[in-house]
Copies of this chain bind each other. A is one copy, B any other.
Amino acid sequence: MESEPAQSANRAVTLRDVAKLAGVSIATASKALNNQPQVRAETRARVIRAAEQLSFSPNTLAQGLITQRSGTVGLLTSDLEGRFSIPILMGAEDAFGSDQTSVFLCDARGDAVREKHHLRALLSRRVDGLIVVGARPDARASLGRDLPVPVIYAYSPSADPDDLSLVTDNVGGGRLAVDHLIRHGRRRIAHITGDETYGAAQDRARGALERLGEEGLALAGEQVWFGSWSEAWGRGATRMVLQRTPDVDAIFAGSDEIARGVLDTLHQENLDVPGKVAVIGFDNWNILAANARPPLSTVDMNLEQLGRLAAQRLFAAIDGTLEGGVETVGCRLVIRESS
């Protein structure tokens, strides 16, 4: 069973070794392994056999040096907990074939000088492209226009409209949530969300209001409850909502954290979910949503898809050229039991 073919991968087996074993020149060996046509089938087979016998693996650095392509991209994030960047990274990872392109992950921890540092290092490594993932879904400073590689801004758009930014369709997400509630017969819908200064909070609220408007409805309580992105705010705001409009029959929370707070207060008040009040969150943060009581319906931002898209756009931009603008990725409803 353990009879691996003597692959003492000890010291760096090179193409020269393969060529010697196969009895050909380095050039031919290279062509044989790269499916170049100008090599006889029998020779190719011999080379390939020699390569596996030595368990040859080409030195990507050398390849990159000559092809002017390192086969790497940098993922530059400021998202401490990796909450948003991880799904994006995973999406990007499987859009690039893992053997074609590897990704450097750098966390700037929200520090501009550290970001500059990382940027220099990545460029020095001759990455073929960059994906920048901001910490919050608002515009962030551009890395500048004179970089030697294409840059794509994911999640947070760049402040420079000439850059290409890929963002969540928060307005659409808000519509989606409210639409779902309306379809299930809810009419007195409240919206509790996070920090007013976040564009995402504004957009989600706007989408919700639009959809309500189409139905001739207004928000229960006549206002959007802005606050902070925390459970505590969700709990407190729910108490206020219940006081002002006791007959509320649905609450759309701007994040899953807030939604957890909402659920908590509803339980305390003995209001059945979803019997009496339906609740829907935002983010589909699994650990919060799936473990809630009852499991939380929520809006998923499709971040993996956003990552895949970023990878595709980047890939295309590497040979061609990149045109700026903002592309949005739609959200998706994840229905569990709270609605």
Contact = CB atoms under 8 A, between A and B. Distances in A.
Interface of A: 7-12, 57-62, 64-65, 68, 70, 72, 75, 81-82, 86, 89-90, 93, 98-99, 102-107, 109, 114, 117-118, 120-126, 146-148, 230-232, 235, 257, 260-261, 264, 267-268, 285-288, 291-293
A286 B80 CA distance: 12
Contact of A102 (B60, B90, B125, B288): B125
Contacts of A235: 293
Nearest to A8: B146
Given A10-B148, A231-B291, A102 B122 contact: yes
16 contacts: A58-B124, A59-B65, A60-B124, A61-B64, A61-B125, A81-B287, A86-B86, A89-B107, A93-B107, A98-B117, A98-B121, A99-B117, A99-B121, A231-B293, A287-B288, A288-B288
Nearest to A4: B146
A83 to B, nearest CB: 8
Nearest to A68: B12
A68, A231, A291: residue with the most chain B Cβ atoms closer than 10 Å = A291
Q: Which 8 A-B pairs have the closest CB atoms?
A: A105-B105, A231-B291, A82-B86, A57-B124, A61-B61, A82-B82, A60-B125, A61-B64
Contacts of A10: 146, 148
A155 to B, nearest CB: 15
Nearest to A146: B9
Contact of A57 (B11, B64, B68, B120): B120
A292 B328 CA distance: 34
A305 B98 CA distance: 29
Contacts of A72: 104, 125
Contacts of A114: 98
A179 to B, nearest CB: 28
Given A65-B59, A146-B8, A287-B257, A104 B104 contact: yes
A107 B122 contact: no
Contact of A61 (B65, B118, B291): B65
A148 B12 contact: yes
Contacts of A58: 124
A212 to B, nearest CB: 29
Contacts of A7: 146
B102 A286 contact: no
A244 B338 CA distance: 32
Contacts of A8: 146
A324 to B, nearest CB: 18
Given A64-B61, A70-B61, A291 B257 contact: yes
